[in-house]
Amino acid sequence: MGADLMESEPLFRQWMQAGDDRIRRSMGFSLLDRLYGPQAVPGQPFDQLEASHPAIFLVQYTLAKVMAGHGIRPDLLLGVSLGEFTAQAVAGMVSFATALDAVCQQPALFFRTCPPGGMIAVLASPELHAASPTLAAKSELAGINSDTHFVLAALHADLPEIEDELRRHDVPFQRLPVPFAFHSRFVAPAEQTWRETFGGLRRDTPFWPVWSACDCGPIGPADAELGWRIVRQGMKVQETIAKLESQGGAVYVDLSPSGTLAALLRQCLPPGSTSRLLSVLSPFGGDRERLRKTLSVLRPLAPTATPP
């Protein structure tokens, strides 16, 4: 998650260290040690939710700050899943500290309230879910990313049966490194505690428009139900991108730690789309050069006057 940039980008290092200091005080461990210490193995699944949750948020937020440091400002911020909280923080709807603290508290809340679960990415038509009695009964559609890619959520005990069913249909799939069935009915036991803990979170008017992949459109500061919807509702990436494309498309910049969102979006673009897809991070390294190429594309598009 950005090891190259920790060495080459002072702003990246500054924000990662600032986040690490706050996580040390609230959680009692160093996120930077987990990410970049001697025990960190490149390419290994990062599946400890108490660390992966804040890591995803912090890396995405930090990359946005790096972009801003190079004079790049967004026309619009699109969040997917945990990235929705990042988008709100980048846009100034919530402060960095408030958002990071909330993200750090979420894993313990889920461990206290939810049964063990999991999520599976599937390379097939989402129609398979309804067509298979096993999948329909044992899982829920947690996300539709394209005509040939969707995500299932299910209880942990049912995952082997679901995977056997996917093998029977001869479709590729991959279990995701998460311990709960996010974006499904299986996290409903957390709702009351979530509302008691985060229901009073105040949001300000964003500097830039913020779109939600669960709402398929823009969000506002007065929406008190937004936080829980992000956790409970399915991710509608395909539908959201279709709406953005109908407005003329965009240069999409993937700030996720793995760069996989850009690959998913590529499947969503309609024939003839003039949109471009850029990403910065990859599990295989080369982030410094990828950042350079991304900035070389974006700089000519940057306006001379920008919002704060």
Could you list the pLDDT tens digit for every one of the 308 residues in the chain?
Answer: 778 898 889 999 999 999 999 999 999 999 999 888 767 655 555 668 999 999 999 999 999 999 999 999 999 999 999 999 999 999 999 999 999 999 999 999 999 999 999 999 999 999 999 999 999 999 999 999 999 999 999 999 999 999 999 999 999 999 999 999 999 999 999 999 999 999 888 888 999 999 999 999 999 887 888 889 999 999 999 999 999 999 988 999 999 988 888 888 888 888 889 999 999 988 777 899 999 999 999 988 876 444 44
Predicted pLDDT of residue 301: 83
- The amino acid that residue 201 corresponds to is L
- Please say if 81 is a catalytic residue: yes
Measured distance CA(253)–CA(160) in Å, rounded: 35
pLDDT of 306 reads 45
- pTM (global) more than 0.85: yes
Domain with 142, as residue range(s), is: 117-175
Strand order across the 217-218 sheet: 77-79, 210-212, 217-218
The span from the CA of 103 to the CA of 50, in Å, is 9
Q: Are 86 and 94 a contacting pair, CB within 8 Å?
A: no
Q: Are 293 and 279 in contact (CB under 8 A)?
A: no
132 and 92 share a domain?
A: no
Selected catalytic residue, list 8, 26, 52, 81: 81
How far is Cα 100 from Cα 115, in angstroms, rounded to an integer?
25
Q: Are 272 and 193 in a shared domain? A: yes
Q: What is the pLDDT of residue 41?
A: 59
Give yes or no for a contact between 85 and 230, defined as CB atoms under 8 angstroms apart: yes
**Cβ count within 10 A of residue 154:** 23
Taking the C-alpha atoms of residue 104 and residue 51, their distance in angstroms, rounded to an integer, is 8
> Per DSSP, which regions of 92-177 are E strands?
117-122, 139-146, 149-155, 173-175
DSSP 242: H
Do 66 and 47 share a domain, yes or no?
A: yes
d(CA 252, CA 266): 10
Kindly state whether residue 197 falls inside one of the protein's structural domains: yes
Residues 262, 168 within the same domain? no
Which pLDDT value is given to residue 42?
59
3-class SS of residue 28: coil
Pairing of strands 139-146, 77-79: unpaired
Q: How far apart are the first and last CA of the chain?
A: 27
- Domain check: are 125 and 223 in the same one? no
Query: What total number of domains does the chain contain?
Result: 2
Residues 278 and 168 reside in one and the same domain:
no
